[in-house]
Amino acid sequence: MAAPAAELKPVVKFLKRHADGRPYLEGHKCEACGTVFIGERSVCSKCFARDRIRAVELPNRGTLYAYSIIHRSYPGVEVPFVSAVVDVEGGGTLKGNLMGVKPDPKTIEMGMPVEIVYGDAGRTDAEGHHYLAYFFKPAAR
Ligand SMILES: [Zn+2]
């Protein structure tokens, strides 16, 4: 049985929670040029502004930039699945799994809108901890 979402440990540092427990992805935005990055930094790699980066909540929307259909993986990982690269609306790029589609190129379209959703990563570590992960799923146009 999956642990309640509020008890799950985030699988990556940039997956955060609001005070009420709702998960969100955190980006970092340069106040000088507006570029959004995933992961903390003190210098903007686009305009080189220093100490003008602030944390922002990323929107749960993006577009599919690239994908691979994975047919071989580690023992215990169900295949095939779709590994995707998504451009987040407003900036930033994420890698993750595209769910809710048949792993078939006929059903996946480059540039298709996706929604970022959250849930149990589906696996546990050696101590039995469950993890909170983010996933992509097709969104309405
Ligand atoms: Zn900048």
So what's the pLDDT on residue 103? 96
Give distance in angstroms: CA of 3 to centre of ligand 1. 40
| Structure confidence at residue 124 (pLDDT) | 84
Q: Return per-residue pLDDT of the chain as tens, 141 residues.
A: 455 555 788 999 999 999 999 999 999 999 999 999 998 999 999 999 999 999 999 999 999 999 999 999 988 889 999 999 999 999 999 999 999 999 999 999 999 999 999 999 888 888 988 999 999 999 987
| Alpha carbon of 44 to ligand 1 centroid (Å) | 5
Cα-to-centroid distance, 37 and ligand 1 (Å)? 10
Dist. CA 113–CA 116, nearest whole Å: 10
* Per-residue model confidence (pLDDT) at position 4: 56
54 CA → ligand 1 middle, Å: 11
CA 14 to ligand 1 center in whole angstroms = 20
Distance in Å, CA 47 to ligand 1 centroid = 4
Strand blocks (E) in 7-129:
9-10, 15-17, 23-30, 36-38, 53-57, 61-70, 81-88, 93-98, 113-124
Entry pTM = 0.89
What is the whole-number distance in angstroms between the Cα of residue 125 and the centre of ligand 1? 38
What is d(CA 82, CA 108) in angstroms, rounded to the nearest whole number?
9
C-alpha 96 to ligand 1 mean position (Å):
26
Q: What is the pLDDT of residue 1?
A: 45
Ligand 1 center from residue 40 Cα (angstroms) = 13
CA distances from 62 to 8, 51, 105, 111, 118 (A): 24, 27, 19, 9, 14
